[in-house]
Amino acid sequence: MLEIVRGDITRFPAEAIVNAANRYLEHGGGVAYAIAKAAAGNVREYIRISKEAMKEQLGKDSIEHGEVVVTPALRLERFGIKYVIHTVGPYCGGVWDEDKKEKLKKAILGALRKAEELGVKSIAFPAVSAGIYGCPLEEVVKTFKETVEEFEREAKSVERVYLVLYSEGDYEGALRYLEENLG
């Protein structure tokens, strides 16, 4: 079910991709900015679309760990992407603990369950919280793998879950970490 790949998530041919968003869906940097730019061409327009979707789906102006907001893929549809699922991971600033692990697990599981609800067969994630949020990549990869394995027992429509890493260094590091520590 789980595969780690190197690539650009904005061009990855999964039915749903996950955006590692901030709680206000402002898409100001990192993968969130890249997805917003690729989806709408205009980041401000995608922020507007995202905020409207958040208000409609959650009835509020921010999301918590475990909550998700779905927006259309717009220009990303040409790659086979149907949905963008926005989730919020923890901010680590280089510090990792059980609370951050639980928040990340909620963020991943929320997106997986939404993909199941949408009936998609494939979903691609970036390394949620590992970039500008400063969580250690190794811990993000470990938590991601554990969460996907837990979700696999309840999955019905979702068949493939991808962790898409942009840089060669992150990709190689994630594979090495899994080989050395998780078998």
Q: Which CATH superfamily is domain 2-181 in?
A: Leucine Aminopeptidase, subunit E, domain 1 (3.40.220.10)
Every domain of the chain and the residues it spans:
2-181
The residue written with tokens 């990303």 in the block is 76
Identify the three-state secondary structure at position 92. Answer: coil
Work out the percent of the chain whose per-residue pLDDT is above 70.
99
Calpha distance 158→119 (Å, rounded): 7
pLDDT of residue 30: 86
List the 68-72 sheet strands across, edge first. Answer: 2-6, 160-165, 122-125, 16-20, 83-87, 68-72
Tens-digit pLDDT profile for residues 51-77: 999 999 999 999 999 999 999 999 999
Least confident of 39-43, 55-59, 116-120: 39-43
Residue 44 has pLDDT above 60, yes or no: yes
Mean pLDDT of 46-51: 95
